[in-house]
Chain A
Amino acid sequence: MSEDYNDNKTIQAQSSETISGSGSGVSPDIDYVRPAEIPEQDLYHGHSFITKWVFCQDAKVIGVQYFLLATFTGIIGLILSWLMRLQLGFPELASFMTAEHYYQFVTMHGMIMVVYFLTALFLGGFGNFLIPLMVGARDMVFPYLNMVSFWMFFIAVGVLLASFFVPGGPTGSGWTLYPPQAILEGTPGSGMGIMLMCISLILFVAGFTMGGLNYLITVLQARTRGMTLMRMPLTVWGIFTATVLAMLAFPALLVGALMMSLDNILGTSFFMPTILKAGEVLEYGGGSPILFQHLFWFFGHPEVYIVALPAFGIISDLISVHARKNIFGYRMMVWAIVGIGALSFFVWAHHMYVSGMNPWFGFFFATTTLIIAVPTAMKVYNWILTLWRGNIRLNTVMLWCLGFIVTFVNGGITGIFLGNVTVDVPLSDTYFVIAHFHMVMGIAPLMVIMGAVYHWFPLVAGRFLDEKLGKWHFWLTFLGAYSIYFPMHYLGFIGVPRRYFEMYDSPYMTSAVGMNEFISMAAFIVGAAQFILIYNIIRALKIGKPSGHNPWKACSLEWLTPSVPPEHGNWGERLPVVHRWAYDYSVPGAKEDFITQTTPPSDVANTEVEKT
């Protein structure tokens, strides 16, 4: 790490601009900025509809493309969840659905929501839109590669959805895709379905690697002058660290998918032990199904943080802006993001407590799992302390932020239950687990996405989303989500197993039925409530109130572009020069309750910036 890289020999002075101070009696030297040394980026500006909006190299457009495609797949995931809930709550209305269909819907819902919706939206959507703007770059460092990355994602989604239309349908092996059952006859989609799933995942990882390369190098090498790593907004820290995790964790998914495809197509036995089928010994032998579980969860657990870390970063910025306070414990927040990222590679086997592992191995992973709760809890405290005595604007964005904190703490606490081997074993594969991970990595990140959409929509479109509709959207989602997942904890405690098509004549039949009906009703309402956002966006694009420049009075760079929405290249003729961090809110002595990152020191000479 050479953050203090200061080699004057390499400076290729492009300009020697010095922003002159306007404060009275202040030496202009305090506004000194070094000459630019990163050469201007050569950008390809699209001239036709196709090059401007389809095969576009502008990271902002690519971000919106990611957002739209991820949302489209998310809606498919939502519809699948409705079908599942219909079967569980009102099976008499779902006579068209067989057990095979149900397993296929479960599988596709899980994979779509985790990988193709949340990951793509946070990293592809917010990453592309926000990174260059927040670090003061004109675009990603490799715009062409960035465009290819999106189209790889597009093809990956196409291949995934194609599996609905092949003989046998999509795979129904559960989103974890465990072999041997995933590729053996008897499991829905064990032929083409699983093959297309694996191909789609391989394409997704290849595409993401191209995008991730861009995010990392843009953050590390293409920041504007004065933008040190420790002046970056926490959103960028979250996306950056999550990208590092993804670059190291996705290879495990790739290797697993590749090996399983070979087991399926070429008859290798990476994950296939000797198997007896109807009295006959299959040709497989010598492989280990547990190896796949290790590979899958070596990807799968960091995946939780690949989703969570950008959410942590974004929520920190939203809270700070809308509480008009600097983020409490900025450094601690950065350390926590980095620490959680590092620790996330040492906890994967807590998903495998019931796989027959050595108990000592289990205790090791229980310990690391509990350790990761420490930096996570630090973040929660810091969000609350940022709100403490803040000048809180209780708008839609803030409601989503508060909703996130509550749901995340709730899901996090049940995670502590499940992280302990002795508690996990009886709760494993019950609805308690479903409730836990939907709260912590379904609803909580969704709250962040919604908050971020309401916050940054004015930057994308130059118009506000409607507040009243936003509040309806929030309360229906928040209360509805609790109506779905709170009862599921109880179902888990009484032992109702997950992934069951129906409850049969089981002992929990009586207590589960009424609750399942209630949960299903809530799920239908919550799902439908999401369409309020779509209506709100369409309405805002047509008749929304114009937002103008920097409508939230934020400090960070993305709001300081010469035009709103920002044009390709972001910054007009000159790149911005950064003079401070992104959290100078409510500074004593300042004219306004925010000081932007580009405000030169001489303009705020009489303030007590360091005491904020």
Chain B
Amino acid sequence: MSLIKKLFGTLAQKPWEKNQVAIDNTHPGRTFNLSNQMSAVIIIFGVSTAIFSLIFTGYLYSLPPEQDTTFILKTYLLWINTLVLIFVTFFFNKISSDLKKNLTNNIKKNLIYVGGLSYLFLFLQLILWYQLMKSGNFVDTNTYFSSFYIFTTLHGIHLLGGLFFWGKVSSRIFNLNEKDYANEEKNINALSLYWLFLFIVWIVFFGIMFIYNDSVIAWCKSLIA
């Protein structure tokens, strides 16, 4: 509510009036109390959300008739991958909160966990693809699997992009004294948010593919009947 009030409050300002001039002259120049890095992650968040939403919409729009849309219910690997992403998000969040509290002992160790688990996630995704292909489900088998592959690829590319910056930040942290870790706080916080975003996208994807498929729809219909 207060956000909407502030938004409309800003747009309602009359910059030419004397009272407003006095207020405006003390303005610091920036709009949000956020670092540039954090602002960048939030904007990337928005753009990527648009990309993933459109892929989901495409999937929902053309949910294929007479195709096996229950694959996701059969494999345990996706559950394990989800668990891995939960751990990554947890460790990144912990790094962020430790930095805030100036607890620097475990930061290096947790950064390694984050990187290791992220690579593990990617490796498990490749195994999943291998399993898929072994069972005869390729990218051109039907639109269900096409959507599955394109989504997991794009999600993986986002994760790789994050890992690139994780590598840069980690190498700096490993070359710093513990007391100087705070210099990297803005980057760490931004990356932590980025990983949270990757997790949210994954959960939404998982939910949609899990819930919106033939067998669940048939089950719902049977309930109504």
Q: Which residues of A contact B (CB under 8 A)?
A: 1-7, 10-11, 30, 32-34, 37-38, 136, 141-142, 209, 212-213, 216-217, 220-231, 247-248, 250-252, 254-255, 258-259, 262, 266-270, 283, 286-288, 291, 294-295, 298, 326, 330-331, 334-335, 338, 578-581, 583-584, 601, 609-610, 612
Contact A226 B10 (CB under 8 A): no
Collect the chain B residues with CB atoms within 8 Å of residue A222's CB.
29-30, 36
Closest CB in chain B relative to A463 CB, distance in Å = 32
CA distance A247 to B51 in the complex (A): 10
Nearest 9 pairs between A and B by C-beta? Answer: A251-B50, A267-B140, A3-B10, A268-B146, A581-B15, A251-B51, A223-B29, A1-B7, A230-B13
Given A231-B24, A262-B146; A224-B29 close (CB under 8 Å)? yes
Collect the chain A residues with CB atoms within 8 Å of residue B24's CB.
226, 228, 230-231, 578
Given A270-B146, A286-B143; A217-B39 close (CB under 8 Å)? yes
Contact B54 A295 (CB under 8 A): yes
Kindly report which residue of chain B lies nearest to residue A4, judged by CB atoms.
B6
CA distance A269 to B58 in the complex (A): 12
Check if B78 is an interface residue, CB within 8 A of chain A: no
Collect the chain B residues with CB atoms within 8 Å of residue A32's CB.
25-26
CA distance A34 to B27 in the complex (A): 7
Of B41-49, B93-101, B118-126, B206-214, which stretch is located at the interface?
B41-49
Main secondary structure on chain B at its contact with chain A?
A: helix
Contact B27 A227 (CB under 8 A): yes
Closest CB in chain B relative to A6 CB, distance in Å = 8
CB<8 Å pairs between A and B, sample of 14: A1-B7, A1-B32, A3-B31, A141-B36, A226-B29, A230-B24, A269-B143, A270-B62, A287-B62, A291-B61, A580-B15, A609-B21, A610-B17, A612-B16
Given contact pairs A224-B29, A609-B21, enumerate 19 new A-B contacts (beta carbons under 8 Å). A2-B31, A2-B32, A5-B31, A7-B33, A37-B29, A38-B29, A213-B44, A222-B30, A225-B27, A251-B50, A252-B50, A255-B54, A255-B58, A262-B150, A268-B140, A326-B16, A331-B14, A601-B25, A612-B16
Contact B150 A286 (CB under 8 A): no
Collect the chain B residues with CB atoms within 8 Å of residue A212's CB.
43
Please tell me which one of the listed residues A33, A252, A288 contacts residue B54 in the complex, with CB atoms under 8 A apart: A252
Collect the chain B residues with CB atoms within 8 Å of residue A228's CB.
10, 13, 15, 24, 27
Contact B40 A213 (CB under 8 A): yes
Count: A-B pairs, CB below 8 Å: 184
Of A30, A229, A286, the most chain B CB neighbours within 10 A belong to A286
Contact B12 A331 (CB under 8 A): yes
Contact A581 B16 (CB under 8 A): yes
Check if B109 is an interface residue, CB within 8 A of chain A: no
Collect the chain B residues with CB atoms within 8 Å of residue A142's CB.
36, 40
Closest CB in chain A relative to B113 CB, distance in Å = 29
Collect the chain A residues with CB atoms within 8 Å of residue B136's CB.
none
Given A269-B140, A288-B61; A213-B11 close (CB under 8 Å)? no
Contact A579 B25 (CB under 8 A): yes
Collect the chain A residues with CB atoms within 8 Å of residue B51's CB.
251, 254-255
CA distance A228 to B58 in the complex (A): 40
Check if B3 is an interface residue, CB within 8 A of chain A: yes
Check if B131 is an interface residue, CB within 8 A of chain A: no
Contact B21 A601 (CB under 8 A): yes
Contact A247 B28 (CB under 8 A): no
Collect the chain A residues with CB atoms within 8 Å of residue B103's CB.
none
Check if B167 is an interface residue, CB within 8 A of chain A: no
Given A247-B43, A610-B16; A335-B61 close (CB under 8 Å)? no
Given A34-B26, A258-B150; A251-B43 close (CB under 8 Å)? no
Of A228, A254, A269, A294, the most chain B CB neighbours within 10 A belong to A228
Closest CB in chain A relative to B30 CB, distance in Å = 5
Contact A248 B31 (CB under 8 A): no
Contact B13 A213 (CB under 8 A): no
